[in-house]
Amino acid sequence: MKYTILLLLNLWGPATAIDCEDVDGSLKQIDVSNGQVFGVNDEGNIYTRYMDSWVQIPGALIHVTVGPAGVWGVNKNYNIYKLVGGYWVQVQGLLKQIDAGGAQYISGANMNDDIFCLNRQPAASVRDGSGLPWVNIAGKLKHYACGPYSCWGVNSIDDIYFRYDVTVDGCQGSKWQQIPGKLSMIEVGTDGSVYGVNSLGDVYYREGITASNPIGTSWTQVAVCGGKIKYASYDLGKLWLITDDGKILKCKVV
């Protein structure tokens, strides 16, 4: 089944239609990057998209991520895993949410909303369960995600924050700036694009993001017909959405 999504260019301007279609299956969380799609369902089963089918991967996770730093996930006990050679390898640390979308570094938040990141070299060198030099970033967030230009996060009351001066070899950054708006989750694409979902199930896109202006300029609502959205992830011109009842939508962004 196909749907129409209206991308509201501004409060007074015309709307641009984007085609969306149902994807088989049911998920509670999804992450897409580098042409790959991974997700987990309510039972903790892990899936990846191969051609037009879902392939189950052994293991059980509550959150999975794919990006330049590889495929990572966390389970119901907040243990952290990296997919190495087709097997999940547990690594040191505890997180409830994890993101591999940065420039080969890892970021995420733990069960106390403490923020952590792992620089490129140790993230890439994981081969066994040995300890890792996680970097604790000042502040509190429930969701923290990075891309090629920047890192973004949301806290427990849905305030939005941008992290300055995150680099390939320095994931800690320098300072926070609060961004107007409210979001319950936020994701950064491999091209630097930023999408988020608020507590009402509305989807937003950050306008004006470039390498020279990674903070962007404003939020544009993506009005979705057919249900409230709880999760969004973007890659290679496709916006993947999960509705509040677990339905999967794939939308073509032009």
3 vs 90 pLDDT, higher one: 90
* Confidence bin at 128 (pLDDT 50/70/90): low
Q: How confident is the model at residue 12 (pLDDT cuts 50, 70, 90)?
A: very low
In the chain, domain spans = 2-252
CATH number of the domain at 2-252, out of 3.40.50.1110, 2.130.10.30, 2.70.180.20, 3.30.70.100? 2.130.10.30
Residues 134-142 have a mean pLDDT of 97
Residue 122's φ and ψ, nearest 5 degrees, are -70, -30
Mode of pairing for the β-strands spanning 97-99 and 106-109: antiparallel
Q: Which pair of structure tokens corresponds to residue 67?
A: 């990006």
Please give the share of the chain, as a percent, with pLDDT higher than 70: 91
Strand 79-84: give its sheet, edge to edge. Answer: 63-67, 70-74, 79-84, 87-94
Query: pLDDT above 90 covers what percent of the chain?
Result: 77
Distances (CA, A) of 40 to 36, 67, 72, 73: 14, 16, 12, 10
- Looking at 85-158, which runs of residues are DSSP E strands? 87-94, 97-99, 106-109, 114-118, 135-140, 143-146, 151-154
Whether the predicted pLDDT of 9 surpasses 50: no
The answer to whether residue 32 scores a pLDDT higher than 60 is yes
Query: What integer is the mean pLDDT of 245-252?
Result: 93
pLDDT in tens, 111-125: 999 999 999 888 888
Mean pLDDT of 18-34: 92
Determine the pLDDT at residue 17: 53
Model confidence, pTM: 0.90
**What pLDDT was estimated at residue 1?**
52
Ranking 5-9, 67-71, 124-128, 223-227 by mean pLDDT, the lowest is: 5-9
pLDDT band (50, 70, 90) for residue 14: very low
> What local confidence, expressed as pLDDT, does residue 199 receive?
96
pLDDT above 80: residue 218:
yes
